[in-house]
């Protein structure tokens, strides 16, 4: 009887050892090499994508997803390209797009809107678009010199554009008085 108990204990020990040995093994993943030269904090502050509406004479009008820094030409390509016979005349294909903007290809702009590809509409006396205006166009506004115009563009580049005219107050050098002068002369 003792021999039978010893054999049974031996069989249980061998079975337990084999079961323990055949369990799944955890293999750690290799470390991920960093490809980005920017620090992680800077990478997380950049917008992950831009969403732009492309309408008019393109293959697939509608919303397109673009990477930050994309140009009008990239938006048209993402919409399937131009329809046969469509002309991008009047569009600045090299202009960087801003999240939430609409690009009209080969159709007239809605009433009151700046013509397609216009920087800010200062030539026609209309409001200056904070999201597309150049330094020269911003300088046509009262009290805006070259330094302040550059600060507005720097703010626009850092924050992915202006969401509302009131965002202009966040630009260094624009206080309540200057904002009151500008609020009816600018648009987003």
CA distance 57 to 88: 9
| 87: region left, alpha or beta (phi > 0 left; psi from -120 to 50 alpha) | beta
Quick one: pLDDT at residue 46? 52
Q: What is the pTM of this model?
A: 0.40
pLDDT digits (tens, 9 = 90+) for 124-141: 456 888 888 888 788 888
**Structural domains in the chain, sorted by start:** 46-117 (3.10.20), 119-188 (1.10.150.320)
Looking at every residue in the chain, the average pLDDT score rounds to 78
Tokens representing residue 27 in the block: 């293999």
| 54: region left, alpha or beta (phi > 0 left; psi from -120 to 50 alpha) | beta
Residue 87: burial class (beta carbons within 10 Å; 0-12, 13-18, 19+): exposed
Q: Which residue has the tokens 């509608």?
A: 62
For the chain, how many residues are written?
188
pLDDT digits (tens, 9 = 90+) for 81-97: 988 888 877 778 888 88
């Amino acid at each position: 009887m003792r021999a039978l108990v010893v054999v049974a204990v031996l069989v249980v020990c061998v079975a337990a050892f084999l079961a323990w040995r055949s369990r799944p093994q955890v293999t750690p993943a290799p470390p991920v090499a960093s490809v980005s030269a920017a620090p992680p904090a800077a990478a997380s502050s950049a917008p992950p994508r831009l969403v732009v509406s492309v309408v008019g004479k393109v293959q697939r009008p509608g919303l397109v997803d673009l990477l930050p820094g994309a140009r009008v030409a990239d938006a048209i390509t993402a919409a399937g390209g131009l329809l046969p016979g469509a002309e991008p005349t009047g569009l600045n294909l090299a202009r960087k797009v801003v999240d939430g903007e609409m690009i009209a290809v080969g159709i007239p702009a809605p009433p009151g809107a700046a013509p397609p590809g216009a920087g800010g509409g200062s030539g026609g006396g209309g409001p200056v678009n904070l999201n597309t205006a150049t330094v020269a166009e911003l300088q046509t506004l009262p009290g805006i010199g070259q330094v302040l115009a550059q600060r507005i563009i720097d703010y626009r580049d850092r924050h992915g554009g202006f969401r509302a005219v009131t965002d202009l107050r966040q630009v260094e050098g624009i206080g309540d008085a200057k904002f009151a002068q500008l609020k009816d002369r600018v648009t987003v």
